Chains A and B, each alone.
Chain A
Amino acid sequence: MSEREFTLIDGERVTRVAARVDGSHVRIAPADLEHAFGWTLKPQGLCKDDLCITLRERRGLVAQGGIDLAVFAQTTGLPLALDVAEGVAVLGESAAARGSRLASLEAPDFTLPDLAGQLHTLSSHRGKKVLLIAYASW
């Protein structure tokens, strides 16, 4: 088992933490889980904002004081892309949450740059119809 720096990516939030690597297992401190991903381990389970996921047992999730990233992802239903050798992990949005948000029919807000680097936000166009067109040079 070794301790090494790990980069955790959650959308625009990029956090560098000290992780314990044990073969293919990557464990991080509970405080780092909260800092990097916004999830807290409480007596009632794994919690984020108003949501708490009850844990039937903690043995897989918590070992040697650290939270196993893969088990955390499985427990919360969040997609995790992990590269142990490179020391990087990306946490994505769950299909349930993404689908639920789209099914609400509220167009997700976003901000992107134009060619000049000027930022544009979708919600600044409220009051007008917007035709959002995605294309590519490919």
Chain B
Amino acid sequence: MALDRCADDARPYIERARPTHPSLIDTQHVVADLYAMINVPTMVWIDEAGLIVRPNDAQFGTDTFTQFHGKHSAPFLAAVRAWVTGQRGALAPAQVRSQQLLPTPDQQRARAEFTLAWHLHQQGRLAAAERHFERAGKLSPHDWTIRRGSMPIRGKNPMGPEFFELYKEWQAAGSPTYPTEPIDTQK
């Protein structure tokens, strides 16, 4: 599920990967908001009954950026395989809840501001949109889906100097992320 402003932004990646699973586009961040996601990649494990058995977690399918985030893909992929083959991996409800990052009022305000900004932008009211993107970012400074996710919409380079400023700010704040325990310590 790509949290991109349009299908075309995600298209090159999807076409190159040629997935056999559904590849969806969440341009309005509807699902990102429903699941209180604050960054990408975010993984959620959902069982056959539609229950969350692992909450939001930042895990990676490759080691391309391990030097930045410190996580290795091997334990994650092994855990997924173990889960899918029915061996182990689903967490008990109490464990899932203890590792969920539930949204705060300010984070919800930020999401409403982002939705307003996106609406105004799509209506061509760019200056007004910019004001609300800014406000969203101030309300939820560590929600990357807002602060970095809005960059392509606003004509800013998500790999450029503003991203590096954002990264430094995030590091200075203690690199806030989902409160999940390391994946290979959970049986």
Measured CB to CB, the residues of A under 8 A from B are 9, 11, 77, 79-83, 85-86, 88-95, 98-99, 102-103, 105-110, 112-115, 120, 122-123, 126-138
Residue in contact with A130 in the complex, picked from B25, B46, B112, CB distance below 8 Å:
B46
Interface residues on B, range: 35 or more
Among B33, B49, B84, B108, residue most surrounded by chain A Cβ atoms (within 10 Å): B108
Residue in contact with A110 in the complex, picked from B11, B34, B80, B125, CB distance below 8 Å:
B34
Q: Given A108-B35, A113-B25, A114-B23, is A132 in contact with B46 using a C-beta cutoff of 8 Å? A: yes
Among the stretches B67-75, B147-155, B179-187, the one at the interface with A is B147-155
B103 and A131: CB pair below 8 A? no
- Ranked nearest first, the 7 interchain pairs of A and B with the lowest CB-CB distance are A92-B112, A138-B158, A99-B102, A81-B112, A81-B116, A112-B24, A79-B109
What B residues does A81 contact at CB under 8 A? 109, 112-113, 115-116, 132, 135
Complex A-B: 18 CB contacts under 8 Å: A79-B105, A81-B132, A83-B132, A90-B115, A90-B119, A93-B108, A98-B108, A113-B24, A114-B22, A114-B23, A115-B14, A132-B45, A134-B1, A134-B3, A137-B10, A137-B158, A138-B148, A138-B158
What A residues does B97 contact at CB under 8 A? 103, 105
Q: Given A81-B113, A91-B112, is A115 in contact with B10 using a C-beta cutoff of 8 Å? A: yes
Measured CB to CB, the residues of B under 8 A from A are 1-4, 7, 9-15, 22-26, 30-37, 40-52, 55, 80, 83-84, 93, 96-97, 100, 102-105, 107-109, 111-113, 115-116, 119-120, 125, 128, 131-132, 135, 145, 148-149, 151-152, 158-159
A126 and B48: CB pair below 8 A? yes
Interface of A is mostly: mixed
A106 and B22: CB pair below 8 A? no
Q: Least Cβ distance of A123 to chain B in Å?
A: 6
Known contacts A108-B35, A115-B11, A133-B43; 11 additional CB pairs below 8 A are A88-B119, A105-B93, A112-B25, A115-B7, A115-B14, A123-B50, A127-B48, A133-B41, A134-B31, A134-B35, A138-B158
A135 and B132: CB pair below 8 A? no
The chain A residue with its CB closest to the CB of B34 is A108
Question: How far apart sit A90 and B50, CA to CA, in the bound complex (Å)?
Answer: 29
Among A79, A89, A91, A120, residue most surrounded by chain B Cβ atoms (within 10 Å): A79
